Copies of this chain bind each other. A is one copy, B any other.
Amino acid sequence: MELSKIKSPADFRGASIEELADLCRQLREAFLVKLSNHGGHVGPNLGLVEATVALHYVFNTPEDKIVFDVSHQTYIHKMLTGRVQAFLDPAKYDDVTGYTAPSESDYDLFTIGHTSTAVSLAGGMAKARDLLGQKYNVVALVGDGSLSGGEAFEGLDEGATLGSNFIVVVNDNQMSIAENHGGLYSGLARLRESDGTASDNYFKALGYDYLYVAEGNDLASLIDAFRKVKDADHPVVVHLNTCKGLGYKPAEEHKERFHWSMPFDLATGELKDQSQSESYDEIFAREMLAQMKADPAVCVLTAGTPGAIAFGPQQRAEAGKQFIDVGIAEQEAAAMASGIAKAGGRPCFGVVSSFLQRAYDQLSQDIAINNTPVVLNIFYGTLLGMNDVTHLGWFDIALVANIPGWVYLAPTNVEEYLSMQRWAMKQTAHPVAIRIPGGSVQHATAPVQSDWSLLNKYQIVRDGADVAIIGAGTFLPLAEQTADLLKASGINATVINPRYLSGLDEQMLHGLRAAHRLVVTIEDGVLEGGFGEKIARYYGTTDMKVACYGLAKVFKDRYDYRSLLEANRLTAPQIAEDITAALR
* Minimal beta-carbon separation of A172 from chain B (angstroms): 14
| Chain A, interface residues (CB within 8 Å), range | 35 or more
A206 within 8 A of B: yes
Question: Are the CB atoms of A528 and B150 closer together than 8 Å?
Answer: no
Tell me which residues across on chain B come within 8 A of A337, comparing CB atoms: 124
Q: Which segment of A195-203, A252-260, A428-436, A562-570 sits at the interface?
A: A195-203
Question: Are the CB atoms of B321 and A402 closer together than 8 Å?
Answer: no
C-alpha spacing A116/B113, complex, angstroms: 25
Question: Are the CB atoms of B343 and A125 closer together than 8 Å?
Answer: yes
Question: Are the CB atoms of A390 and B365 closer together than 8 Å?
Answer: yes
Q: Which of A126, A158, A339 has the most chain B CB atoms inside 10 A of its CB? A: A339
A362 within 8 A of B: yes
Given contacts A124-B337, A342-B125, A555-B405, contact A537 B546 (CB under 8 A): yes
Convert A356-387 into 0s and 1s, putting 1 for each residue whose CB lies closer than 8 angstroms to a CB of B.
Answer: 01101110111011100000000000000000
A129 within 8 A of B: yes
Of residues 152 to 185 in A, which have CB atoms within 8 Å of B's CB atoms?
152-161, 181-184
Q: Which of B111, B342, B362 contacts A369 (CB 8 A)?
A: B111
Given contacts A390-B365, A404-B554, A529-B529, contact A123 B339 (CB under 8 A): yes
A208 within 8 A of B: yes
A121 within 8 A of B: yes
Question: Are the CB atoms of A555 and B299 closer together than 8 Å?
Answer: no
Tell me which residues across on chain B come within 8 A of A345, comparing CB atoms: 124, 127-128, 131-132
C-alpha spacing A368/B540, complex, angstroms: 31
Tell me which residues across on chain B come within 8 A of A306, comparing CB atoms: none
Question: Are the CB atoms of B343 and A129 closer together than 8 Å?
Answer: yes
C-alpha spacing A161/B189, complex, angstroms: 14
Question: Are the CB atoms of B161 and A181 closer together than 8 Å?
Answer: yes
* Minimal beta-carbon separation of A536 from chain B (angstroms): 4
A122 within 8 A of B: yes
Convert A55-87 into 0s and 1s, putting 1 for each residue whose CB lies closer than 8 angstroms to a CB of B.
Answer: 000000000010100000000000000000000
Tell me which residues across on chain B come within 8 A of A133, comparing CB atoms: 296
C-alpha spacing A324/B542, complex, angstroms: 51
Of residues 103 to 153 in A, which have CB atoms within 8 Å of B's CB atoms?
109-114, 117, 120-133, 148-153
Q: Which of A126, A366, A582 has the most chain B CB atoms inside 10 A of its CB? A: A366
A532 within 8 A of B: yes
A455 within 8 A of B: no
Q: Which of B122, B322, B327 contacts A339 (CB 8 A)?
A: B122
Tell me which residues across on chain B come within 8 A of A326, comparing CB atoms: 154, 158
Tell me which residues across on chain B come within 8 A of A65, comparing CB atoms: 343
Residue of B nearest to A328 (CB): B154
Residue of B nearest to A186 (CB): B207
A344 within 8 A of B: yes
Question: Are the CB atoms of A360 and B362 closer together than 8 Å?
Answer: no
C-alpha spacing A544/B338, complex, angstroms: 44
A398 within 8 A of B: yes
* Minimal beta-carbon separation of A397 from chain B (angstroms): 9
* Minimal beta-carbon separation of A520 from chain B (angstroms): 10
A401 within 8 A of B: yes
Residue of B nearest to A190 (CB): B205
Question: Are the CB atoms of A358 and B361 closer together than 8 Å?
Answer: yes
Tell me which residues across on chain B come within 8 A of A93, comparing CB atoms: none
Tell me which residues across on chain B come within 8 A of A545, comparing CB atoms: 540-542
Q: Which of B181, B335, B341 contacts A155 (CB 8 A)?
A: B335
A309 within 8 A of B: no
Question: Are the CB atoms of B157 and A111 closer together than 8 Å?
Answer: no
Tell me which residues across on chain B come within 8 A of A362, comparing CB atoms: 117, 120, 151
Tell me which residues across on chain B come within 8 A of A322, comparing CB atoms: 131
Q: Which 7 A-B pairs have the closest CB atoms?
A: A150-B150, A124-B339, A160-B183, A183-B207, A128-B345, A120-B335, A154-B332
- A–B Cβ pairs within 8 angstroms, 21 of them: A102-B370, A120-B366, A121-B336, A121-B338, A121-B342, A124-B335, A124-B338, A128-B344, A131-B345, A132-B344, A155-B335, A158-B181, A158-B183, A158-B329, A161-B183, A183-B206, A202-B205, A360-B399, A369-B390, A537-B537, A540-B547
Q: Given A131-B296, A153-B153, list of 4 further CB < 8 A pairs? A: A124-B341, A130-B321, A154-B331, A159-B183
